[in-house]
Structure formats: structure tokens, C-alpha cells
Amino acid sequence: MRIIRSQWLWVVSILLVLGLAACGGGKSASSPTNSAPNGSTPLSIIMDAGPPSLVAQNQSAANMIFATITICTHGSTTACQTIDHIQVDTGSVGLRILSSALNGTAAPAAVLDSSSNPMAECLVFGDGHIWGSVALVDVNLGGSTLSNVPVHIIGSSTVGADPAACSTGNGPAEQTLAAFGANGILGIGNYIQDCGIYCALTTSNGQYFSCPSGTNCVSSTASLTSQVINPASLVPVDHNGVTLSFPAVTAPGAASVTGTLYFGVNTETTAGAQNNNAIGAAKILQFAPATATNAGYLTATYNGSTYSQAFIDSGSNAYFLPDSSIPTCTDSTSFYCPTNSVTKSFSLAGYNGTVASGSLVIDNADTLFSSQVANSYLNVFPTLGGPSSSAANGSSNWFDLGVPFFLGRKVYIIFENATVGGVQGPAVAF
């Protein structure tokens, strides 16, 4: 996820840590308590204007998916805090919460390394970075209490300021609500840990740090059990993936739209089941393995060209794709501004050989951002697109189906090591 400013809107593109934990595995949290024995309870998700305090400052979100999450001090049912406007991101892994969003009711406990030093994490985005402590909290999710879940507390003062190894060359720190645009991230991507075996074996990984005396942090290995983990992989049932469902939105858009995050993929398929995550006729596309040149990605065909770094990502607020035939905007330069609506077809191919086709529509972003429906400015844009060269890292080889792709369909995120329909994850389906 990357946050940039476009007129009065917060807009999101891409988190750089896309699928890099391909060698993950194992769970780091304690066994959860399940209060939903017949299936995990779905989570309501919403796309709206964003955190109220930012809206009051005329800073509104564009195509950002949010959830409300409750965390607790480990073992307590009363020392809890419910936090709204946590961004839902299928392109990253782990729960990350702004320190400024915590009111002190829930007390995160520091994760310690093998030398009993507090651990910290640095995560790099396309236009900046975040830094903070790694801590344990209980998380209420899917109708269950997930115990001692390692999470990332962004901007936590307990590990001091971000060291040069985190800040140098990685853009500005995005550790305030104004800079970040959300109270945190719920990363429900395809992997279990956010770094996996690489950070468990490599000291100079640049992501995990050991902090003697709470500061003076240095790059360090992080065991799989101490890394920030995908919370959706911890629910007692329906933990092989997640299913996101939103209704269709008619162009130019809407002020808000409500959807559902179902836990599991094809695990609750009977009529009247608590989870409606049946995969039906959806095609399952497997990611390329770690040994492939396009590891962690799909392959896209678009405009007669092939792109090896293709993905579907709810943390990207637009279709980001390379198309020199569509003019970019004068005002919102990270987006496309065609004179008339542009309709394009594409196909995605998985490593398993399965191909799925679709189409997308791109409208003039400058016009969209100034549109109103029923005297309300819009925050949900089904036809927002931009050049992939303006996205994180400037890669023109990326083909990114962001939030507009999630409208009007179900998108299935299958976790690593899980098997659905005979296909082993990591994979996606639609």
C-alpha cells in the first residue's frame, strides 16, 4: 500500500512487500478460543470517506477498504479497544496499528528475541516507510479470540526512532494518521508470516530489528513464531484463505459501499451456511513458486503484450497497468484521464496453467474526483485507473487489478500450503 495526495483525496497504490514470504509456514500465536463452531463469523467491511478526523480536515479516502477490529490485553475480556478504519489489504500480511490510534485500554506486550531484546520492524512502501515495535495482543476476529498475535505497532516510542538502516533511501516516515490515511492495516494476503524463512535465516534482512535497551536497533533474524502473522490464518475454522465480496457500483461511483469478508475459501458451501465462501465456477490461479522468475505473481496479457508481474490487490485503489494509449491526468497525474470511457479486455494466467479473462473500464480521474451523487462527493470509483509506471517502484511491468476489480464480484485469496479445488496455494480465484 502506498498513500499519495490527489486534490482532496487520499489515494492508495501498492505495498512493496507483495508475496515475498513464499517460504513461510507455521503459526506463531496461541490457540484461539472459538465462539463460532459452525463457521467463522464474517466481517463487515466498508469503503467510505475514511477516518472522521481526516474527513474533518477535507482529507477523504478514494477506493480504500476498511474494517473495524477489536484488540485486547492478552487474557483479558475487558481491557479491550475497538479501532475503526483499519485498511483491508490482500497485498500484505499482518495486523499493523498506528500507535496514535491506541488509547491505552489494551496493552500490547513486547515480542522479545532470543537475547530478550524487544523486536521492531521496518516496512517499506512505494513512497515511504513505517517503523515500530512488534508486540503481542489478543485479536477478536471471525467470532473467535486469537491469543497472543504478533502485530506491528506503527510509530511506537518503545523502540525509539527509525534507524538509518530503515529510513535511508526509503522515503519519508508515514507513521501518523495524516501521513498514513488509516488507523492501521489488516493484511490478509496469501502468506502466513510477513517475511517467512528469509527473515528467519538472514540477519541483514532490513525488515526485522533487535533493540537492546529498547533502542539502538540493529537488523536481526526473526523466527517464524515472532514475525507479524496473517490473523486470518489463525481462526479455528475457515482458515485456508479469505473471500471478499462487494456489490457492483455504477459509474461514476458512490459515497460508500458495504461488503463482507468471509473467512475461508470453499469451506462453507451448504445452503444457509454461516460463511458464503463457495467457490462455484470461479477459476483458481496459482502463483509462481519461489524458484520461478516471476515468483509470487500471475502473468497478464493486455493489449497484445505479456506482463509477468500481475496480481489482484485490495490495497491498490485503482487499476494500475501500462497503456500509452490512455492519457494521464493533468491534475491527478498518477491516474488516467481519457476523454471518453475506455473499455479493455485482459487475461490472467496462473502457474497451474489456468487462464481467466475479464474486462475493465477506465474513466477520467479528474472528472471522477470532482463528481457528486445526491450532493455527496464520491469515495468509491469503479472505473479508476492509472499507469503502472506511477505505482510503487516505478515498474512498468506490473499489471495490478486494484479495488475496482473487487466491486461486483467475489475474490478468493487462498493461503500458502492450503489446497482448494485441487490447486495448492498461494493462489487467487474469481
Q: pLDDT tens digits for 196-206?
A: 999 999 999 99
Judge if 187 and 311 occupy the same domain.
Answer: no
pLDDT, position 20 = 40
For residue 204, the surrounding DSSP H or E stretch is: none
Judge if 217 and 299 occupy the same domain.
Answer: no
pLDDT higher than 70, residue 16: no
pLDDT, position 10 = 44
Number of domains the chain is built from: 2
**What are the strands of the beta sheet with 3-6, ordered from one edge?**
3-6, 9-12, 60-62
Judge if 209 and 326 occupy the same domain.
Answer: no
Taking residues 332-343, what's their average pLDDT? 95
Judge if 185 and 310 occupy the same domain.
Answer: no
Judge if 294 and 201 occupy the same domain.
Answer: no
Judge if 103 and 185 occupy the same domain.
Answer: yes
Q: How confident is the model at residue 15 (pLDDT cuts 50, 70, 90)?
A: very low
Query: Exposed, middle or buried by CB within 10 Å (0-12, 13-18, 19+), for 105?
Result: middle
Any domain includes 125: yes
In the numeric block, the cell 445452503 is attached to 271
Any domain includes 87: yes
Task: Answer yes or no: pTM beyond 0.85.
Answer: yes
pLDDT, position 403 = 98
DSSP string covering 345-379 = EEEEE-TTS-EEEEEEEE--HHHHHT-EETTEE--
More confident residue, 281 or 272: 281
For residue 194, give the nearest of 221, 224, 166, 219 by alpha carbon: 224
Quote the domain boundaries for residue 377: 280-429
DSSP secondary structure code for residue 27 in this structure: -
Any domain includes 262: no
Rounded Cα distance, 150 and 284, in Å: 30
Which tens digits make up the pLDDT trace of 34-79?
444 468 999 999 999 999 999 999 999 999 999 999 999 999 999 9
Count of CB atoms situated within 10 Å of the CB of 116: 9
Any domain includes 210: yes
Taking residues 104-112, what's their average pLDDT? 96
Judge if 181 and 311 occupy the same domain.
Answer: no
pLDDT, position 390 = 55
Report the amino acid identity of residue 120.
A
> Among 137-146, 220-229, 392-401, which is the least confidently predicted range?
392-401
Which tens digits make up the pLDDT trace of 289-306?
989 999 999 999 999 999
Taking residues 6-30, what's their average pLDDT? 41
E-state strands within 115-200: 119-124, 129-141, 144-154, 184-188
Any domain includes 221: yes
Judge if 23 and 164 occupy the same domain.
Answer: yes
pLDDT, position 164 = 92
For residue 395, give the nearest of 289, 292, 307 by alpha carbon: 307
The SS3 assignment for 121 reads strand
pLDDT, position 396 = 64
pLDDT, position 30 = 54
Any domain includes 42: yes
DSSP secondary structure code for residue 108 in this structure: P
